[in-house]
Amino acid sequence: MDGYSITPEYSVEELAELLAELELTERRRVLELADKIAASHYE
């Protein structure tokens, strides 16, 4: 079993949706972190 195989349980569309959700979450986390850094920088 190699880590590069795509599991057949997911369609390409489902994988794309999961990726989009992940990207949204990551973006939000990055923005929150940037806000904290900016806030501490200007205190």
Encode pLDDT of 7-39 as tens digits.
Answer: 567 788 888 998 999 999 999 999 999 999 989
Q: Is residue 21 part of a domain?
A: yes
Q: Is residue 2 part of a domain?
A: no
pTM of the model: 0.49
> CA–CA separation, 41 vs 30, rounded Å?
16
Q: Is residue 1 part of a domain?
A: no
Handedness of CA 28, 33, 35, 38 (dihedral sign): negative
Domain that residue 33 falls in: 9-43
Q: How many domains does the chain have?
A: 1
pLDDT band with cut points at 50, 70 and 90 for residue 6: low
pLDDT greater than 70 at residue 2: no
Q: Is residue 4 part of a domain?
A: no
